């Protein structure tokens, strides 16, 4: 068996928060499955905003210039990657140690499966 810790560390901040957002807002919008919710442009934008918010938070300075004490188990790594976003907008997402192969995965949602049961 291979070491799953890197994947688990990537999953926790990225997928759990965005998956919950998809589930909550998707269900409130009348969807019963994640693949349905991801096809809704507003919900897809919300999911992207969650990841963008994490990247922006990891820069360590808020919009009024105050320092943020970044609380993250991989603080130094995420802050270093977030700092690169100014020069390369997708730098944060391209970090395999944070997102595995996410930037290289297909954009279209899966054809089946969901987070809710009827």
Q: What is the pLDDT of residues 12-41, one digit of tens each?
A: 555 566 677 778 888 999 998 888 888 898
Res 109 pLDDT > 60: no
**pLDDT of 62:** 94
Contacts for 97 with CB less than 8 Å, ≥ 6 apart: 6, 10, 77
Average pLDDT score over residue span 5-13: 58
Over pLDDT 90: what percentage of the chain?
Answer: 19
Q: Which residue has the higher pLDDT, 62 or 86?
A: 62
Residues contacting residue 17 through CB under 8 Å, at least 6 positions apart: 50, 54
**Global pTM exceeds 0.85:** no
C-alpha 112/C-alpha 49 separation (Å) is: 24
- Mean confidence (pLDDT) of the chain: 75
**Residue 96, pLDDT score:** 75
């Amino acid at each position: 068996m291979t070491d799953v810790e890197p994947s688990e560390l990537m999953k926790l901040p990225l997928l759990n928060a965005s998956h919950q957002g998809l589930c909550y807002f998707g269900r409130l919008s009348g969807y019963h499955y994640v693949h349905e919710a991801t096809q809704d442009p507003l919900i897809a934008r919300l999911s992207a905003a969650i990841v963008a918010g994490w990247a922006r938070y990891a820069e360590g300075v808020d919009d009024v210039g105050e320092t943020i004490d970044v609380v993250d188990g991989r603080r130094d790594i995420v802050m270093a990657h977030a700092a690169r976003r100014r020069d390369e907008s997708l730098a944060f997402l391209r970090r395999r140690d944070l997102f595995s192969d996410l930037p290289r995965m297909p954009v279209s949602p899966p054809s089946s499966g969901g987070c809710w049961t009827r």
